[in-house]
Copies of this chain bind each other. A is one copy, B any other.
Amino acid sequence: MINIADVARHAGVSTATVSRALSGGHHVSPATRLRVEASATHLGYVVSSNASSLASGRMKNIGVVVPFLNHWFFASVVEGAQQALQRHGYDLTLYNLTGGLEARRSVFEHFLLRQRVDAVIAVSLELTENEVARLHALNKPLVGVGGPLAGVRTLTVDDLAVARLATEHLIALGHTRIAHIGGDKAFDLDFNLPTNRRFGYEAALVAAGIEARRDDFRPADFTTAGGYQAAKQLLGRPHERPTAIFAASDEMAIGSILAARDLGLVVPRDVSVIGVDDHELATFFGLSTVAQFPQQQGEKAVEVLMEELRPHPESRTGLNVNMPFELIVRGSTARPAV
């Protein structure tokens, strides 16, 4: 393995100069810089990140922690983050908290603390105060995606506003019986996302002078199958069937469309359906939805971190960064039949 001394010898300079020339090139004359770079590429030299990190204290590596990966949303966030990091010359080390409490502790006690990462991105993860404190104590920046997280900069979409937007879309079309499929308690652990969406839904109804009926709400588990079940219940009632369904995720919305079809109902003639996410299957099903952009969220998380990692974080923006969302109208929503 060829090291910095080899390059120095070959270029006829000291290792100090090589180091400076290859990292930014400050305080090095253009001529020598060029010479060093030539030698480096000629010899096929690549810095040892370990030695570099040990000496400098910078790891050039970010830890990303997700609850699971096996899901469109998380995978997209990670993908976005990965690409952004690559542009910045950083590595991404992935941690998964699926393994239960044991795995979770192990991640925090050993992996993250092993001086491996400069900072941490926590995706849809409700960290305990202890965990946050530990990270802070190590002076490691932490940004959350999906939040808020006490004392942590977090990127969030305003779930309340998202839900309101979706519901208002239906109201504007003339619907007055609008059902909602949200999350059950188990999913509320993560930042009350389902609750917020439900509140947004109710707020929109109330603002329009529509009563939010308790039996127009069904909890489900954010899967297609769960949405299907819930929609069947909602649409199968003999009287007062809702003319529109707002599902808190696209997968549940797709389940609803399939349920409607199986009941012989035509979407959107008999029932309008709208979701949240802009899942990859949304286009295929012609699903109207409020898009959030997970990949973009991953990228943005990286930008925020990079800023925080800069020596003089002068322009620290506020704690919470609001992420964009957007109503995308496709074929699954229309005026109710008269």
A114 CA to B89 CA in the complex, in Å? 11
Bound-state Cα–Cα, A78 to B255, Å: 27
Return the contact of A284 from the options B115, B224, B281 (Cβ within 8 A).
B224
Choice from B86, B99, B111, B115 contacting A83 with Cβ under 8 Å? B99
The reply to whether A82 and B54 contact each other, CB–CB distance below 8 Å, is no
Contacts of A99 in B (CB 8 A): 83, 86
Partner of A111, one of B1, B53, B54, B91: B91
Distance between Cα atoms of A68 and B113 in the complex (Å):
28
- Nearest Cβ distance between residue A185 and chain B, in whole angstroms? 23
Cross-chain contact B106 with A49 (CB below 8 angstroms): no
Among B48, B82, B110, B224, contact of A281 (Cβ-Cβ < 8 Å)? B224
A-B contact pairs, 23 of them (CB 8 A): A47-B114, A48-B114, A49-B114, A49-B116, A50-B51, A54-B54, A68-B79, A69-B75, A69-B76, A69-B82, A70-B79, A71-B75, A75-B75, A79-B98, A82-B95, A86-B95, A86-B106, A89-B110, A91-B93, A223-B284, A224-B281, A255-B284, A261-B261
Q: Besides A54-B54, A70-B79, A223-B284, 20 other CB < 8 A contacts?
A: A1-B115, A46-B115, A47-B114, A49-B114, A49-B115, A50-B51, A61-B93, A69-B78, A70-B75, A70-B280, A71-B75, A75-B75, A78-B94, A82-B94, A86-B95, A89-B110, A91-B116, A93-B93, A224-B284, A255-B284
> A residues near B, CB below 8 A?
1, 46-51, 53-54, 59, 61, 68-72, 75-76, 78-79, 82-83, 86, 89, 91-96, 98-99, 103, 106-107, 109-111, 113-116, 223-225, 228, 255, 261, 280-281, 283-284, 295
